[in-house]
Amino acid sequence: MASHTPEHAAGNTSSKMDKLTALCRRRGFIFQSSEIYGGINGFWDYGPLGVELKRNLKDAWWQDIVRCAPPGPDGQPIDMVGLDCTIIMNRKVWEASGHASGFNDPMVDDRESKQRFRADQLFGLYAGPHTGNSAADRAAVLAAVAGGIAPIISIIASTGGEAAEVLERQGKKLFKERNVPLQISEIAAEFVLLKERGEPRLGVLAAVPIDVLRGRPLEIPSPFTQKTGVLTEPRQFNLMFQTHTGAVQDDSSMAYLRPETAQGIFANFRNVTDTSRVKIPFGIAQIGKAFRNEVTPRNFTFRSREFEQMEIEFFIHPEQAAEWYRFWRDVRFKWWQSIGLTSANLQLREHDRDELAHYAREGAGTSDIEYRFPFTAPGFGELEGVAHRTDFDLRQHAQFSGLGDKLKYFDQQRNERYFPHVIEPSAGADRGTLAILCEAYQDDPGRPSGVVMKFHPRMAPIKAAIFPLVDKDGMPEIAGNIYNDLRKTWNVEMDVKQNIGKRYARMDEAGTPYCFTVDTQTLSDQTLTVRHRDTLAQERINVAEIRNFLSKKLEP
RNA sequence: GCGGGCGUAGCUCAGUGGUAGAGCGUCACGUUGCCAACGUGAAUGUCGAGAGUUCGAAUCUCUUCGCCCGCUCCA
């Protein structure tokens, strides 16, 4: 795998992505939203081919998750029901979920270097006394941090461990920029042994408290230059879109566009259990739009401000969390492979415990199913997150709605009332579509189009094309009959214009896996040629066999 | 949001103050008949947008919008 460089590893990454976006535009997969008005940043439209592709992805998900859910760990069929809830909900939903307060990350700017970072990712190196009594020294320096002393050096990191790594790697450079006569002699996790002018001191790496940052930003050294006096106070960036319900726009009518579909499922948990006879373990699935005011939408459709999610909330008894977490993680990874993401560009990555979201920190784990996009290579970008959300959301809604224990689930078999835990596989439909496009794209100088989209037949926007070799001698009529029959079941196209090579080339760019061509021989023996997109090979089959042929090729 | 780069036909680009162009693609007709072939013809432009300078702006200036790269964010 690693032995041969993927064609979109560093080097021609941008050119592959440029070619792909050009093809998406040219062939009608994806357009920029409101293009004739100059576009709008972070919003994308799906054209005639794109809408088929994305719909195939969502339909496959719905079929494989809701209508024909996989057997569970015990081999028994899984209980799964669908849901479709509104984008705008009572705003208390977002207070309960934590989005209203937690979804806007305070950001800090370095006024001098014009760089910005998240306030909660700022770590400081704090120095305290070194008496030799390590327990007392640690307590002393931690007390000093809590008391609000300024760090001597600052670092951007998401965890203390990462801060230690940065310090280890760049320690000398950081001290040089600060121009403090300090030396590091030892780093053990977040604790650091320092020497200041030969005098030993105990250092600790700790998050810079937000209230210190807010109150005295000028005393904190910039993580970029280690200069003081350049940082701004943390500022709020609300990532949720706001709107108003009703004609009068005041504070009381303010509402949010949902930033995730999950909360609609939690808010309907009781409705579903009351009406559908599902029993734990069971899942509720939903496909729908969500909206986030991303700081910087970029990388084609990868980070859009309006996007579509395919989410499952799977409700379980807390004791079964680990088992169901592993189950869904593996099922979802295999599913992406089953629809054509078969290369080493797809990977499953288990999160480190300390990078987990607030609701998942105590859980059985979180993992990402990731794809190596041309623009992330050699890194990966997230397609789907599988998280054990514990009972966080249901408990929050129980509290905020005032329903309390009434929102608990009564388990007949266990004779027990409890808040179920939740395993959440949450996939991005637009990101999935983009990964399928990236995976399918193949330069091929050996064919007339120069490029071919090798979609899995189940995902291909056009399943087959029907061509009369010549636009005469009764061939168009035969082709027309076949077309009219096939289109009752599949999205197929007929094309009579121009020479056959041009028509094959167009279908290569659209990623159509099979082309059926009616020729002179068809007139006498009822056979026609099937041209295979991936191999360019041709075979003859009987006209009456076409339905069988396609059914077999298109089954999951 | 900050810094850097870029916006001319569907695509790739030429055009640096004086009538908006080429190739490819698209479409029509003819011809051919299994991989963008050939001939003839046609359509297609708010030169990203707005303002300014000028007798005259695709070209110079300012503003703005969008795209790409970095920081940042994330399904």
Q: Among chain A residues 190 through 219, which have CB within 7 angstroms of nucleic chain B? A: none
Q: Which residue has the tokens 């980070």?
A: A303
Confirm whether any atom of chain B, the nucleic acid strand, is less than 7 Å from CB of A493.
no
Is the CB of A38 within 7 Å of strand B? yes
Give the pLDDT score at A392.
92
Handedness of CA A279, A283, A286, A290 (dihedral sign): positive
Cβ contact A400:A95 at 8 Å: yes
Return the pLDDT at A237. Answer: 63
Chain B positions with any atom < 7 A from a protein CB: 1-3, 7, 10-12, 26-28, 32-37, 46, 48-49, 65-75
Per CA to C1' distance, which residue is closest to B71? A115
Question: 3-class SS at A81?
Answer: strand
A469, A471, A474, A475 alpha-carbon torsion, rounded to 10°: 20
**For A32 and B56, how far is CA from C1' in angstroms?**
36
Asked whether residue A99's C-beta has any atom of DNA/RNA strand B within 7 A, the reply is no
Q: Is the CB of A116 under 7 A from strand B?
A: yes
Q: Which residues in chain A, range 336-365, keep a C-beta under 7 Å from any nucleic strand B atom?
A: 357
What is chain A's alpha carbon radius of gyration, rounded to the nearest angstrom? 29
Q: C1' nearest to CA of A290: which nucleotide?
A: B75
Strand B proximity: list residues 239-268 of A with CB under 7 Å. 239, 260
- Judge contact between A253 and A395, C-beta under 8 A: no
The answer to whether strand B lies under 7 Å from the CB of residue A25 is yes
Residue A303 Cβ under 7 A from any strand B atom: yes
CA of A38 to C1' of B50 (A): 13
Q: In terms of residues, how long is chain A?
A: 556
Stretches where chain A sits below pLDDT 70 are: 1-15, 101-105, 112-116, 177, 179-182, 236-238, 295, 352-362
Of A346, A282, A352, nearest in space to A320 by CA? A282
State the complex-level ipTM. 0.80
* HSE value, Cβ hemisphere, 13 Å, CA-based, for A338: 13
Let me know: does A413 contact A317? Beta carbons within 8 Å: no
Whether CB of A238 is under 7 Å from strand B: the answer is no
Residues ≥6 apart with Cβ < 8 Å to A393: A96, A97, A262, A263, A266, A359, A422
A8 touches strand B (CB under 7 A): no
- Is residue A155 helix, strand or coil? strand
Q: Give CA–CA dist A374/A392, Å, rounded.
A: 36
Q: What is the pLDDT of residue A400?
A: 94
Task: Scan residues 470-489 of chain A and list those with Cβ within 7 Å of strand B.
Answer: 470-472
The answer to whether some atom of strand B lies closer than 7 Å to the beta carbon of A187 is no
The two tokens of residue A296 are 């910087």
Q: Is the CB of A442 under 7 A from strand B?
A: no
Does the C-beta of A279 come within 7 A of strand B? no
DSSP tag of A295: S
Q: How many Å from the CA of A6 to C1' of B13?
A: 30
Contact A124, A154 (CB under 8 A): yes
Q: Is the CB of A501 under 7 A from strand B?
A: yes
How many helices (H) and strands (E) in chain A? 16, 28
The predicted pLDDT at position A60 comes to: 97
Domains and CATH numbers, chain A: 13-86+272-439 (3.30.930.10), 104-237 (no CATH), 444-554 (3.40.50.800)
Q: According to the model, what pLDDT value does residue A105 have?
A: 63
Contact (Cβ atoms closer than 8 angstroms) between residue A471 and residue A485: no
